[in-house]
Amino acid sequence: MQPNDKPTRSHSAPIDWEDDEYADEIDDQDDDAEMAQLVLRFVDELRTRADALEASLAQRDLPKVGGLAHQLVGSARAYGFPRITEEAAALETSVRAGRCLDEIRSQVATVAALCREARA
């Protein structure tokens, strides 16, 4: 072993639970697994969100459409879905600005399609 070489962990060596580097590695793995589960749950819920957007639009409940879009912006950003984030933000902006119903309808269709196509 050279002076600057790091020792490698042998599978048969006892685990030093006080080793911060090892503890951080375990924490990172746990965090990654937990985040993966959260992303899967989010993707599973996207179809329901798409249905809710379309139902709200069909009822011409534009405040609800705007609210659903706003929620989707935040959660899609947090879970790493930039295209859904961008399109939902545009939809929210259109609703707040009072744009024409045809434009909002088109945007709802785009966001709903992206939600249904999303994969973890």
Could you tell me what percent of the chain has a pLDDT over 70? 74
Separation CA 88–CA 119 (nearest Å): 17
- Tell me the pTM: 0.72
Separation CA 109–CA 18 (nearest Å): 54
pLDDT tens per residue, range 46-86:
999 999 999 999 999 999 999 999 999 999 999 999 999 99
